[in-house]
Amino acid sequence: MTRAVRRFAWSATVVAVLAVGGLLWSAPWLIGIGRASSEDLRTVSYRLTAKLPLMIDPETRLEQIEPGAGLEQVFRFRLVGKDAQDVDAASASERLRERARAGICGQATLAPLVARGVRVTYVYVDRAGAEALRFSVDPIDCLWIRMRRAVSV
């Protein structure tokens, strides 16, 4: 092996180790360290539910916060003046998911949960209680956002 090849191999190894270390530093839940528990989710649900119901805007009311399946926190909203068939689920879901992702991944309230491996799910029901929208923000979504921020700095 030539000297240049050895230097390149050594440099590539250092970069790989730093990348894996940075990834695990940002998301230790990937290997089970610092993972949230179902008790953590029950506590968060209990504390946040005390402030409900809460009008988010003239059309949307947050009615319930509860632990979901596994490591999932579920936020249930009601669209107070709409029927499910009046909602363009595909475009509304994508638009709201992007907004939620930006908020969750940087918000002081939920960022610690997501950093500990918790999926945050939003469920919107219409005025009659029929489900109109459902989407989730996964911990990996926030990891990619943090990695992009780190690279652009």
d(CA 109, CA 40): 13
For the segment 21-29, the average pLDDT, to the nearest whole number, is 47
pLDDT of 141 > 90? The answer is no
114-140 confidence digits (pLDDT tens) = 878 889 999 999 999 999 999 998 888
60-89 confidence digits (pLDDT tens) = 999 999 999 989 999 999 999 888 888 888
CB count within 10 Å of CB 129 equals 8
Q: How confident is the model at residue 21 (pLDDT cuts 50, 70, 90)?
A: very low
pLDDT of 39 > 70? The answer is yes
Verdict on whether the full-model pTM lies above 0.75: no
Tokens of 53: 């119901």
Q: Is 135 helix (H, G, I), strand (E, B) or coil?
A: strand
Q: How confident is the model at residue 5 (pLDDT cuts 50, 70, 90)?
A: low
Q: HSE on the CB side for 1, CA within 13 Å?
A: 8
55 phi and psi, to 5 degrees? Answer: -75, 120
Q: For residues 111 and 55, which has the higher predicted lDDT (pLDDT)?
A: 55
For the segment 92-120, the average pLDDT, to the nearest whole number, is 81
Q: Which of 134, 135, 131 is nearest to 82 (CA)?
A: 131
pLDDT (0 to 100) of residue 44: 85
pLDDT (0 to 100) of residue 3: 73
